[in-house]
Amino acid sequence: MQVTAIYPGTFDPFTAGHRDVAKRAGKMFDELIIGVAANPNKNPYFPLEERVAMTAEIMSDMPNVSVKPFTGLLVEFTSEVGAQVIVRGLRAISDFEYEVQIAGVNRHLKPAVETVFIAASQDFTFLSSSIVREIAKLDGDVSDFVHPVVLEAFTRSKQQSAKQGDK
């Protein structure tokens, strides 16, 4: 049986920690779809299309991994694309409680879909997208945490803001 998994997230931006989880999930399943959530509640820094394009470029070395945007419920998206598994990364015990809650909600909404957790590599347990955004906005070096594509996007975005005079 062919198993398709979804790795969902806001990915604002996709970090080295996300790539680590996605690479390992890509090796475990026949097909991995990285689902980039529109997630307007989080008021993302990068527009949805840019988050999708950057993530696709970063994962382009894995042929069985694709990247798609989604809005609305994650379980609806799993039905749309025919996925049987949801993948989430666990960085620390603090992630566990929330993740188990979300997995429970998703199982209630759609029992046929299993959530699988992948333990994040030790190197990235402290990393999150908001930490990366914070450092980048304050002109710190985030090159150890993100792909060069994301570094360029930060530079472009900061130049645009400076031009518009809102920096």
Site residues for ligand COA per CB under 6 A: 8-10, 12, 15, 17-18, 21, 37, 39, 73-74, 89, 91, 102, 105-106, 120, 124, 127-130
Q: Shortest Cβ contact with ligand COA: which residue?
A: 17
Toward ligand COA, which CB reaches closer, 15 or 55?
15
What are the residues facing 89 on neighbouring strands? 118
Q: Give the residue with the Cβ less far from ligand COA, 64 or 94.
A: 94
Distances (CA, A) of 30 to 10, 26, 46, 66, 111: 23, 7, 30, 12, 21
Q: Mark 71-97 as b/e (b = at least 16 C-beta within 10 Å).
A: eeebbebbeeeebebbbbbbbeeebee
Residue number with CB closer to ligand COA (48 or 127): 127
Catalytic (active-site) positions? 18, 42, 91, 129
